[in-house]
Amino acid sequence: MSESNATDSNQSEPTAAAPAPLDPGPRRHDLIVIGGGPGGYVAAIRAAQLGLDTACVDASAQLGGTCLRVGCIPSKALLESSERYEEARGSLADHGVVVGEISLDLAKMMKRKERIVTTLTRGIDGLFRKNNVARYHGRGRFDSTSADGHVVIVEGQGEPVRLVAAKVIIATGSVAAGLPGVEFDVDRVGTSTEALAWDSVPGELVVIGAGAIGLELGSVWRRLGARVTVLEYLDRVLPGMDDELAALALKLLKKQGLKFQFGARVEGVKVADGRCTVAIAGAASISCDRVLVAVGRRPTTDGLGLDAIGLSTDARGHVLVDSRFETAVAGVHAIGDVIAGPMLAHKAEEDGVACVETIVTGHGHVDYDLVPMVVYTEPEVASVGQTEAALVGAGRAFRKGSFAFAGNGRARSLGAIAGFVKILADAQTDRVIGVHLIGPRVSELVAEVAAAMAFGASSEDLARTCHAHPTLAEVIKEAALAVDGRAIHG
């Protein structure tokens, strides 16, 4: 509304025009981080620790991004709860624990998951306060670049807010990829976000994609009572992970009751009368109650205003950065899922710290060869470093040692003996270059080998490290001994 329009024409006495509100100008910070997920919030905290006046913009009322709100954390909560349910219905009896009638209170299970998420997301608010990170609730977009720096507009519930800073980090993460012919209808056909919150157990569930999300959430709903069919385009599960791990994971998941159809290219999903029909190229359609689409994720840059500062993305939607995480526009950096590399929360965190440290100190580094990958199925699957296939492909000579959990006393006590640890060491130097684990709690065990590899350990170093007895970690020691053909218990 213009100033003249604002004057009441019926007024008989002229009054002094109300002074135009002073434009407060943009709010200035040293650094604006767009996105409050594991990449963004960690970058913001590290920047504040290093003395930068830091702002973090996030569209959600809950900080923590996909990982905390609708990804890693809620899925682990449901994996844990569903595993307890399955144990109560089956394996507890092996321990001589006799339980009465078992029933599922899904609403309570979901509430527990929500409480965990809320506690953790509030924790980030607390960390921001402690570190004096200014938090802006709204969608951030680039507006322009001036001599003052990059202008970011935050559009939330109230008036838009203008921020300006010499440095901006894009940490906007990723969203679930769709499939041509498949319309998400929230109730029946959804992504992991919906599958983490269904209010009833589907009788028949079709999961499209046998990656980490498909196998984890497929496991959750199977344990809760769904008949689950996983449709996978390739001829294997967990593409990118070690072949031997993937083969054993498949065998064990099948034994648990998950059904798999490989070479299945889904062409479309139709919903009618509460039933879904999944069309597969060259094969019979499948009818089911619900569909989970888990065919990967794509970087989030929609509405970010990259054009306004002359930035574009590559064919896959990634923001391109150099080794210092800087884009083609000076002062604008990007980290996490929005740039190339594995879409993993812990990789995004490492990016965030390295990016900020590079901005402030000139130095920062992530060793992308040592980013662990974990899939939280039962048993868990974990990897760090090179796969056997990659080493063979690269013509690099290596020695290999494997040891099975069946030969480990702690695994026997747990009643979880399926799986093994495989260590790959350079043939000349004996340096550990890849470790692949499947078995009980390998999500935790992988940290030992990742740390050892970060320090340049040889398999001999691992073999000669005293491991407490009885622990699952002894399997790592035995696998390291096996590299030299001298495992004791195998």
Tokens linked to 467: 């491991």
Shortest approach of ligand NAD to residue 96 CB, angstroms?
33
Measured from the CB atom, the residue of 135 and 346 that comes closer to ligand NAD is 346
Amino acid at 386: Q
Give the CA radius of gyration of the chain.
26
Cα separation, 324 vs 333, whole angstroms? 8
As a whole number of angstroms, the distance between CA 46 and CA 349 comes to: 10
Write b or e for each residue in 456-489: b if 16 or more Cβ atoms lie within 10 A of its Cβ, otherwise e. Answer: ebbbbebbeeebeeebbbbbbbbbbbbbeeebee
Cβ-based nearer residue to ligand NAD, 145 or 192: 192
Element containing residue 388 per DSSP (H, E) = helix 388-394
* Length of the chain (residues): 490
What are the catalytic residues? 469
Question: In terms of Cα–Cα distance, which of 441, 362, 366, 381 is closest to 211?
Answer: 381
The stretch among 17-25, 128-136, 244-252, 369-377 that binds ligand NAD (CB under 6 A) is: 369-377
Under rule CB under 6 A, residue 214 binds ligand NAD: yes
Contact 168, 162 (CB under 8 A): no
Q: How far is the CB of 375 from ligand NAD (least distance, A)?
A: 5
- Report the alpha-carbon distance of residue 220 to residue 82 in Å, rounded: 6
Instruction: For the CB of residue 182, give the shortest distance to ligand NAD in the complex, in Å.
Output: 8
Is residue 27 at the binding interface for ligand NAD, with CB under 6 A as the rule? no
Minimal distance, residue 359 CB to ligand NAD, in Å: 26
The 149-188 site mask, x for binding ligand NAD (CB under 6 A), equals: ------------------------------x---------
* Residue 473 lies near ligand NAD (rule: CB under 6 A): no
Q: At what angle do helices 106-131 and 72-89 cross, to 10 degrees?
A: 150
Name the 3-class secondary structure at 382. Answer: strand
Does 376 interact with ligand NAD (rule: CB under 6 A)? yes
375 near ligand NAD (CB under 6 A): yes
Q: Which residue is nearest to ligand NAD (CB)?
A: 211
DSSP-assigned letters across all residues of 277-336: EEEETTEEEEEESEEEE-S-EEE--TTS-GGGGT--B-TTSPBP--TTSB-SSTTEEE-G
Q: Looking at beta carbons only, is 136 or 376 nearer to ligand NAD?
A: 376
Work out whether 52 is an interface residue with ligand NAD (CB under 6 A).
no
Piece in contact with ligand NAD (CB under 6 A), picked from 22-30, 39-47, 146-154, 231-239: 231-239
- Phi, psi dihedrals of residue 327, rounded to the nearest 5°: -80, -175
Interstrand relation of 332-334 and 161-165 (parallel, antiparallel or unpaired): unpaired
* CB atoms near residue 97 (< 10 Å): 10
Any contact of residue 239 with ligand NAD (CB under 6 A)?
A: yes
Rank residues 299 and 364 by Cβ distance to ligand NAD and give the closer one.
Answer: 299
Scanning 22-30, 102-110, 206-214, 352-360 for contacts with ligand NAD by CB under 6 A, the matching segment is 206-214
- Binder to ligand NAD among 264, 291, 453, 482 (CB under 6 A)? 264
85 binds ligand NAD (CB under 6 A): no
Shortest gap between Cβ of 398 and ligand NAD (angstroms)? 25
Can you tell me which of 231, 278, 292, 391 binds ligand NAD, judged by CB under 6 A? 231
Q: Is 207 in the site for ligand NAD (CB under 6 A)?
A: no
> Could you list the residues that contact ligand NAD (CB under 6 A)?
179, 208-214, 216, 231-234, 239, 264-266, 294-297, 342-344, 373-376
